[in-house]
Amino acid sequence: MNSVEEKKSHPQPQKESPDLKGTLISVMLLGSFILISWFGVYILFISR
Q: What is the pLDDT of residues 8-36, one digit of tens each?
A: 666 677 777 788 899 999 999 999 999 99
The pLDDT value given to residue 24 = 95
- CA 46 – CA 48 distance, rounded (Å): 6
pTM of the model: 0.57
